[in-house]
Amino acid sequence: MSLAVQFNQVVKKYGEFQALKGVSFDVEEGAFFGLLGPNGAGKSTLINAMSGLVVPTSGSIHVQGFDVIDGYRDSRKLLGLVPQELIADPFFTIKELLELQSGYFGMKGPEQNRWINELLERLALADKANSNTSQLSGGMKRRVLIAMALVHKPRVLVLDEPTAGVDVDLRRTLWDFTKELHKQGHTIILTTHYLEEAEALCDRVAIMQHGEIKALDDTQKLLSQHPYRYLRVNVANPEIDLPGLLAERLVEKESNGFVFQVDKESSMTETLGLMAQAGLDVTDVSSRDATLEEVFLDLTSEGMA
């Protein structure tokens, strides 16, 4: 399988501070790839380096085989990037911005106009097509940036926190649209704070922290390799004091029960025995595997802001 993106020993220094400490990994063509990590991990720096917004101190990045610096013109055409930071242009309408962006990539004519209109429709921007971008809400600005990233039909679409501060309806619209693009063969790379979203959407994820990759694997593998499973127990006497062995495994206390983190290797009988010994009047038990959020917290030991 050919590679959509190759990061090779990418270092970015801001003065003495190393925002990227030699990041290397590949994204296969056709992947739906999630780049996750707490605030300040270096996700945006890495992503912006793909499009030339950030110039790495050392290392290289290739998009569809083209070096993003030496082969900028070619790599840039194959890449659509939706930046995290919202921008507004007070001088142009949405439609004009999309036409300008098309012109920049040398695309025009009736076919291109049809595509621009389709983007406006799909991203629910059609009735604002002739508005100035400075008059738009945050969610609309985000959609304009997505339309701009897609105007040249790039093979690789990169979305940096596309759903931050976006309402539920729009999130769904965005994901439906992104999934459709993925089905059509586009490679998708996204960063998101919403780990549930990443778990549902991404077939592969990288977890980044302090400018380094902490884990990278197929989402399902990452989940199944997690050493714990989770046991939710409903009890008739939730006010009971838990003995040490159970208290150590408690991850959540609920009004009618508990959630315990249990070593996958340990026997379920043992845990259930401990509960019986403690005098828990168990009314219901269910067990599940770790979520991506739990894997993430385990690997980074810090929450997402």
The residues that touch ligand ADP, with contacts defined as CB under 6 A, are 14, 19, 37, 39-45
Rounded CA separation 125/174 (Å): 13
C-beta of residue 116 within 8 angstroms of C-beta of residue 93: no
Rounded CA separation 18/42 (Å): 9
Looking at the Cβ atoms of 43 and 152, the one nearer to ligand ADP is 43
Rounded CA separation 76/35 (Å): 20
Report the first-to-last Cα separation within the chain, whole angstroms.
36
Nearest approach, Cβ of residue 81 and ligand ADP (Å): 13
Q: Which of 84, 132, 173, 261 binds Mg ion (CB under 5 A)?
A: 84
Looking at the Cβ atoms of 55 and 276, the one nearer to ligand ADP is 55
Looking at the Cβ atoms of 190 and 275, the one nearer to Mg ion is 190
Nearest approach, Cβ of residue 10 and ligand ADP (Å): 12
Site residues for Mg ion, window 124-143 (CB under 5 A)?
none
Q: Which stretch binds Mg ion (CB under 5 A): 77-85, 108-116, 149-157, 210-218?
A: 77-85
Tokens 């063509």: give the residue: 29
Nearest approach, Cβ of residue 41 and ligand ADP (Å): 4
Site residues for Mg ion, window 28-47 (CB under 5 A)?
43-44
DSSP for 238-282, written as a single string: TTSPPPHHHHHHEEEEETTEEEEEEETTS-HHHHHHHHHHHT--E
Binding-site size for Mg ion (CB under 5 A) equals 3
Nearest approach, Cβ of residue 16 and ligand ADP (Å): 11
Question: How crowded is the C-beta side of 287, counted as CA atoms within 13 Å?
Answer: 10
The site for Mg ion (CB under 5 A) is made up of 43-44, 84
